[in-house]
Chains A and B, each alone.
Chain A
């Protein structure tokens, strides 16, 4: 399981899980599940286009996921965000279909892009993944406060001069970077599950953002590690286990919330004002508890 050819897989999955845990926390907080599905899924058009003109796959993925992020934000100015996202993914997939129809040699790679080939990650794919992963984490750290405020209390954020549209676009660009980083190594299905399941589960267990983010990273790591180990033993696809474990984690989180609610007799669901206050006071008081 830890043979030489598997080292890349473990490293790639670990890097992706850490980033997914951190960025996924905001994905869940902002209710951006649709965008988190659309960018990785639609960006395959970029990969198909890159193959068509003989460019690097990562460049194609990057260009298309950024264009998709811009389009969701742009269309979102004049329409509801779920409609804007639906129109964007439809256009991206249609372009992908067009590119695929222009080439005859691409079909087998679709499976890899959608469902991932984490067990076959080569060392030269690992470099760009790590670099973009670090950039994503740095971006989230830099944006932490305004992003948190605009996600939880948009009114307060607006009053403090934080532009909601700019925050929206900034977050979508981070999602686009996550897409570019993760799709070549783990596929669009896997990164989507990791962006949603572990962070959603983490939020059920705590109201404090930094703790939730830490838990989310922990859950994401456990999910991919268990998935790879079981996949190695059973010879079944990694994506299957990641999807199943993510859904299981969410179910456990929901059950925990429901159980606590009946025990305490009042809804313990994250109090939005509390979230914002904790953020205002910074991370220090979290360490204290």
Chain B
């Protein structure tokens, strides 16, 4: 596929491996959809809802293990219902809204505990638990791609249809309401798009990466871009780059680490963090051309990477 001179970078078999093809494709679709939806998640301050849905879906995923249907349907069903409940509680102040999200999350995790418990009793394995929680981009069935493409398409289409009223009500709820934008309806439509996007990514690439790709690239984009349209494009590109670079590192690491490679999720998250801190430096340099003062430097050496 590429020139031979790339060989040292790509370990043998990277481009001919079927799981890698699927991983790269699914990862890219998830990254683009998450990037588009994620920009609004960050603007609206709904990161918690975005993350919570990936955990809430776990309850649906574990329920579908019990009844023997595909995990994906369980995820989608639970997340759409959960998004509906969140919208029904409908608190506009971020503090109260996060609280409502937390209540829905707590109740759903309780259900997940119940279903997983039933599951571990009937099959006496914890493999299902780990699988539902972490997912793995390298063990996807090729057939799942069609379903994912459809879910992603619906989610992005919703955002496209709602684009202007959504943007207005995200930036200024009052102004949108004054202009007779149906803010609740727009908010509900957005939550539906979020629920679909998160279900799609959580079930394929796991809950960790779902949140990472939803919030990380969008946060990067909103640091460097000033216009929303540009930010969405940047977020999608950053997501795809992080996803592919992380997958490549994970694949190559099986060689360095003697057969037991690093998890894909870890590699992708590290790439996202590198991009996040780089974007911070870029936005800082651009916004403030004067030489950095001591206090500015002080912020850089904050122990933010303590973990």
Q: Which residues of A contact B (CB under 8 A)?
A: 28, 30-31, 33-34, 36-37, 64, 67-68, 70-71, 74-75, 77-80, 82-83, 85-95, 97-98, 100-102, 107-108, 110-111, 114-115, 189, 192-193, 196-197, 200, 236-237, 239-244, 246-247, 250, 254
Contacts and interface: CB of A to CB of B under 8 A. Distances in A.
B216 A247 contact: no
A107 B262 contact: no
Contact of A107 (B111, B126, B307): B126
Interface string B50-61: 111000000000
A94 B208 contact: yes
A91 B307 contact: yes
Contact of A111 (B98, B120, B214, B263): B120
24 contacts: A31-B95, A31-B98, A33-B99, A74-B306, A75-B304, A77-B302, A82-B45, A86-B48, A86-B214, A86-B215, A90-B216, A92-B307, A94-B268, A95-B307, A97-B208, A101-B262, A192-B105, A192-B109, A239-B113, A240-B117, A242-B110, A243-B107, A243-B113, A246-B106
Nearest to B206: A97
B127 A107 contact: yes
Contacts of B199: none
B276 interface: yes
A4 to B, nearest CB: 24
Interface residues of B, number: 65
A36 B95 CA distance: 13
Contacts of A192: 102, 105-106, 109
B263 A94 contact: yes
A269 to B, nearest CB: 9
Given A82-B45, A200-B99, A241 B219 contact: no
Contact of B99 (A77, A110, A196): A196
B200 interface: no
